[in-house]
Amino acid sequence: MAVGIVLARLLGPAEFGTFAVATVALTAVLSFNELGVSLAIVRWAEDPKRIAPTVATLSMVMSTLMTGALVLIAPWFCSVMGSPAATPVVRVMALSVLLSGLVATPAALMQREFRQRERVVVDQIGIWLGAACSLGLALGGLGAMSLAVGRVVGAAATAGAFARLCPEGFRFGLRRDVLPSLLSFGLPLAGTSILVFAVGYVDQLVAGSRLGATTLGFYVLAFNLSSWPVFIFSLPMRAVGPAIFARLRGDAAATRAEFSRLLALLASASLPVCALLAGASDPIIRLVYGDVWHPAALALQLLGLGAAARIFSELAYDYLVINGRSRSLLAVQGVWLAVLVPALLLGSQAGLRGVAGAQLSVMAVVLPIYVALLRRNGLEVRDILAPVAVPLAVGAAVLVGTWLLSSIIDTPLLACLACGTLSLAATAGLLWRRRSTLAGLVDVRRTA
């Protein structure tokens, strides 16, 4: 976060927008880079080492093809996005695709085996080396390319750490007897991942192509800020959630109880923070990034609320994947995209705030669909609503309170301190209510 703040201040909205164009292209390819087969390792009922070499081979073949494709289409894509200068940035970042395919198998093996201590080491090596590289190059005046080079350096460092800590994930081979099972599981999931990308990034495609790269920079900054709760709370939970659901599969009562506990913990930790970002968007942007980034506050007000819906949808997605509902998820993402595209095109006529508003409004259609799918796969409505009822009420109070405080207090620092104190107190109270959930998660991990 801190490095991102420094880089945003150094680069400014225009250069940041150029990098955002490259990031959209990279994420598009990464969304289906290894055909979704690596997740089969987490779900595989037998010894995963039986399929790991085949998964590694498929991942590398696809990532090589995708890297070449991204290099070739970079000029066309950047032109459509209104930023031809982003072409060399996209081509450099394409190397990350190759490295991503290389580490897909060891990452899945670590996730299945709950090797989170080692995974933290791997992630931190990549994050800090990449960030240090980007920061040094940005200070040297390299602009958006500094972020691209840092991304590749971080990915290479991550691959090296995986090779040291999980060498079994780098063994290649091809077992024809497991190919049909892997592809029948992975291909629908890969199709779903393409739609997940489209749902997650079509807003940036619309903002860039219709409003320009600089406005895209404002939007991406707001989106990144709104993603803090997702990265801090949801992403770590996703590292263990699928493995927990896989271990409990077949025990309906235990699965329902664990889903509710995970949801309660996520809601308690994240909803007050999402409300803080929405209610105090103006002083947060001005204090953290500077007045030049002030337009981003218009989008953050709405995207902060949307982050809460994203956290729930990610937990539901993981639960349904482990229960073999990849085709249902494909249909959900299709409906989501079909509703979102016209909403974004209409909203873009109102500028930055309209694009963010379209994202939030579509969630009113998508969330009930997820709830219906969860009900069809072993959960009851009370398993979903009861864990979030109190956090939702507290989050609404934090939203109103932070909005009032930021309206009354003119100084950004004082406004952030007041709003942050209110959100922190609310989060602490909710987590204290759910303190037994943390102990329960530890018990599940030990049992597994």
Q: In degrees to the nearest 10, what's the CA dihedral of 30, 35, 36, 40?
A: -140
- pLDDT score of 425: 95
Q: What is the pTM of this model?
A: 0.71
pLDDT by residue for the chain (448 residues), tens only, comes to: 677 777 788 778 878 777 777 777 777 777 666 555 666 676 666 677 777 788 788 888 888 888 898 899 889 888 887 778 889 988 998 888 888 888 888 887 887 777 778 888 888 898 889 888 988 888 888 888 888 899 899 999 998 998 888 887 788 877 776 667 666 666 666 666 677 677 777 888 888 888 887 888 888 889 888 888 888 887 777 767 777 777 777 677 777 888 888 888 889 989 999 999 999 999 999 998 888 898 899 899 999 888 888 888 888 888 887 776 767 777 887 888 889 999 999 998 888 889 999 988 888 888 899 888 888 887 888 888 888 899 999 999 999 999 999 999 999 999 999 999 999 999 999 988 877 766 555 444 444 4
Please choose, from the candidates 380, 388, 185, the residue with its C-alpha nearest in 3D space to the C-alpha of residue 269.
Answer: 388
Please choose, from the candidates 377, 8, 44, 48, the residue with its C-alpha nearest in 3D space to the C-alpha of residue 225.
Answer: 8
* Measured CA angle at 257 (ends 255, 261), to 5 deg: 115
- pLDDT score of 411: 93
- pLDDT score of 163: 87
Please choose, from the candidates 169, 322, 320, the residue with its C-alpha nearest in 3D space to the C-alpha of residue 247.
Answer: 322
Q: In 81-143, which ranges are continuous DSSP H helix? A: 87-93, 95-112, 116-139
- Residue 346 in 3-state DSSP? helix
Please, what sign has the CA dihedral across residues 366, 368, 370, 372? negative
Instruction: For the chain, state the CA radius of gyration.
Output: 21
CB 302 within 8 A of CB 353: yes
| C-alpha of 75 from chain center | 26
How is 361-408 classified by DSSP, letter by letter? HHHHHHHHHHHHHHHHTT--HHHHHHHHHHHHHHHHHHHHHHHHHHHH
The answer for residues whose C-beta is within 8 angstroms of residue 428's C-beta and 6 or more apart is: none
Residues 245, 176: Cα–Cα separation, whole Å: 28
- pLDDT score of 31: 65
Please choose, from the candidates 222, 233, 301, the residue with its C-alpha nearest in 3D space to the C-alpha of residue 267.
Answer: 233
Residues 343, 340: Cα–Cα separation, whole Å: 5
Please choose, from the candidates 445, 18, 423, the residue with its C-alpha nearest in 3D space to the C-alpha of residue 243.
Answer: 445
